[in-house]
C-alpha cells in the first residue's frame, strides 16, 4: 500500500490546483474572444463607412457574390 499512500497527496494537490488552471484558461479564452470582438467591430465600422460612401457598389458586390461571380471566383465551380 505504499503506492496508494503516495498517490493520495499527489491527487489531492492536483485537485487543489485545478481551479487555478481552469481560471487561467478561462481568462485567456476571454481575452482571445475580446480581441476577436474588437477586430470584428473595427471591420464592421469600416464596412458601414464604405457603404455610406458607395451604397450601390456594396449591393453590386453582394449580388456578384450571390451569383457566384465574387472576387477570386474563376468559374471553377461551374462544372466545365
Residue owning grid cell 493520495: 8
The three cell numbers of residue 63 are: 449580388
pLDDT tens sequence across 52-77: 887 777 777 777 777 776 555 555 55
Task: Answer whether 58's CB lies under 8 Å from 51's CB.
Answer: yes
Which pTM was predicted? 0.52
Q: What is the pLDDT of residue 17?
A: 92
Instruction: Provide DSSP, 11-70.
Output: HHHHHHHHHHHHHHHHHHHHHHHHHHHHHHHHHHHHHHHHHHH-HHHHHHHHHHHHHT--
* Residue range 29-52: mean pLDDT, rounded: 92
Residue 50 CB: number of other CB atoms within 10 A?
Answer: 13
Amino acid at each position: 500500500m505504499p503506492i496508494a499512500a503516495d498517490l493520495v497527496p499527489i491527487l489531492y494537490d492536483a485537485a487543489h490546483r485545478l481551479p487555478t488552471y481552469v481560471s487561467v484558461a478561462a481568462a485567456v479564452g476571454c481575452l482571445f474572444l475580446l480581441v476577436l470582438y474588437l477586430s470584428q467591430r473595427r471591420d464592421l465600422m469600416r464596412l458601414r463607412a464604405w457603404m455610406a460612401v458607395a451604397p450601390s457598389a456594396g449591393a453590386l458586390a453582394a449580388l456578384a457574390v450571390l451569383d457566384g461571380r465574387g472576387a477570386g471566383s474563376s468559374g471553377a465551380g461551374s462544372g466545365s
